[in-house]
Amino acid sequence: MGGGAAVASNRLNRALRRNGVDAKLLVQDLVRDEEGVHAVDRGFIHRQKAFARFAYERLCFLPYERSSSVRFAFSPANVGIDISNHPLVQEADIIHLHWVNQGFLSLETLGKLFSLGKPIVWTQHDMWSFTGGCHYAGSCLEFLEFCSYCPFLRKPSKKDLSAQLFAQKRKIYSQAPLSIVACSKWLKGLAQESKLLRKKNSFAIPNPIDIDFYKPYDKSEARKRLGLPLDKKLILFGAANVNDQRKGMRYFIEALSVLNENFPKAAESAELVVFGKMNKDTEAMFPFKTHSFSFVSDPKVLVDLYNAADIYALPSLQDNLPNTVMEAMACGTPVVGFSIGGVPEMVDHKKSGYLAEVKNSLSLANGLYVSLFVDDLEAYSKQARKDVVENYSEKVVADQYLEVYKSLLK
């Protein structure tokens, strides 16, 4: 399992099991063995078939895409596995869906699950379930009534691919025993406004985190293990794909340039730490000395990175309830980012971090400087940790889901 939604769903499965729920997580492919997590199938042939489904879905979208920049931002869900007869599905009292795209479940196979008549809980990790195919709609509001003229498509029209997929979703959702859980109040609001889901039961429940694993400890020890300087202010930034436009790299680089050119204190003492997929051209644009960690798969290294940093920067332009924000705050690392999506629900402005004006590089630069050199960073750190413990710890989140399950079984 990989990606933010996969991490979040696995964490929830652990949290539920640790709090007395007989939960089992069924995934397309298993990266490592874990109690309570089951793959649909295993072996070389299964992995080849999974990749073939993924590739086929992408190839089918190729003639429609506006450009390569939107290639993975839109999912037609035209191919997938029928898991409706899987033993775990058959024995379940409640079916709980998470992220189902890129060749795992198609709209047709989703329809087969819905037709079983079992209560369905669907945790929303992005907007895909209530749009005509995009994962984040940006400024487009077509999903409020009926998707068409899609900005992700090469030839937007009244009856384009988004309109066809929207109509297909409306058909399979119509009689589905479906309850929606959004990871943020922001996403819940959008789901409730959407044509596809406005008549479904909706709840806002955050993702959980293991606060005994993601926790603060000695900053200098973390820096020594990672080979980072002990005498610098370190700004941490990370994403699965740093160059994804939605992650706001343009504004981040502009903010760092402002910081470097106008704040001598920052120019002298600040350095940048980046993890995630990033090309050399992007790295060359950073005005500060940069320590690159590429893709980090070891959670222990991530905890070291959060503890080594003074602040975590989040220049994303649209996001739900980012795992990285929760992880950073759990480690007592304040977050500086744009006030978008579910982030304002996590970061308390000027108490546990700093919320900048959206797409305002000057505001972001000011937030970075104020947090590092003006405000009480230690107070920010303590509040960040406190907020995570009170709102996102495993028992707090598991109890909320348990109430939803009980209400459905009644």
Distance (Å, whole) CA 79 – CA 102: 8
SS3 352: coil
CATH code matching the domain that covers 4-207+394-409, chosen among 3.40.1130, 3.40.50, 1.10.287, 1.10.3470: 3.40.50
In the DSSP assignment, the letter for residue 320 is S
What is the model's pLDDT at position 43?
A: 84
Tens-place pLDDT, residues 41-60: 888 898 899 999 999 999 99
DSSP letters spanning 166-224: HHHHHHHHTT--EEEEESSHHHHHHHHHSTTTTTSEEEE-PPPB-TTTS----HHHHHH
SS3 79: coil
Element (H or E) spanning 312, and its range?
Answer: strand 311-314
Query: How many whole angstroms from its chain centre is CA 74?
Result: 16
CA distances from 79 to 31, 39, 76, 291, 322 (A): 22, 18, 8, 40, 28
What is the model's pLDDT at position 2?
A: 57
Q: Which residue has the higher pLDDT, 245 or 61?
A: 61
Distance (Å, whole) CA 170 – CA 147: 11
Tens-place pLDDT, residues 338-391: 999 899 999 999 999 999 999 999 999 999 999 999 989 999 999 999 999 999
Number of H helices and E strands in the chain, helices first, is: 16, 12
Q: Which two tokens stand for residue 390?
A: 């009170």
Distance (Å, whole) CA 410 – CA 398: 18
144 pLDDT higher than 80: yes
Tens-place pLDDT, residues 119-133: 999 999 999 999 999
Could you tell me the residue ranges of all domains in the chain?
A: 4-207+394-409, 219-392
What is the Cα gyration radius of the chain?
A: 22
98 pLDDT higher than 90: yes
Q: Are 44 and 66 in contact (CB under 8 A)?
A: no
pTM, 2 dp: 0.88
Tens-place pLDDT, residues 316-348: 998 888 899 999 999 999 999 999 989 999 999
Mean of the pLDDT values across residues 288-302? 89
Order of strands, sheet of 233-241, starting from the edge strand that comes earlier in the sequence: 290-292, 270-277, 233-241, 311-314, 335-338, 353-356
Q: What percent of the chain has pLDDT over 90?
A: 81
Type of residue at 244: D
**CB neighbourhood size of 94 (10 A):** 16
Split at pLDDT 50, 70, 90, the class of 1 is very low
Tell me how long the chain is: 410
Distance (Å, whole) CA 93 – CA 48: 32
261 pLDDT higher than 80: yes
Contacts of 110 by beta carbon, 8 Å cutoff, 6+ apart: 77, 80, 100, 172
SS3 287: coil
Mean of the pLDDT values across residues 21-28? 94
Helix, strand, coil share of the chain (percent; to 5): 45, 15, 40
**CB neighbourhood size of 277 (10 A):** 13
HSE of 12, CA atoms in CB hemisphere, 13 A: 25
Q: Are 122 and 95 in contact (CB under 8 A)?
A: no
Residue with token string 């959670």: 299
**Do strands 311-314 and 178-182 pair parallel, antiparallel, or not at all (unpaired)?**
unpaired
CATH code matching the domain that covers 219-392, chosen among 3.40.50.2000, 3.20.20.100, 3.40.50.20, 3.40.50.880: 3.40.50.2000
CA distances from 112 to 53, 54, 80, 109 (A): 18, 20, 12, 5
CA distances from 242 to 45, 167, 231, 278, 286 (A): 32, 34, 26, 5, 13
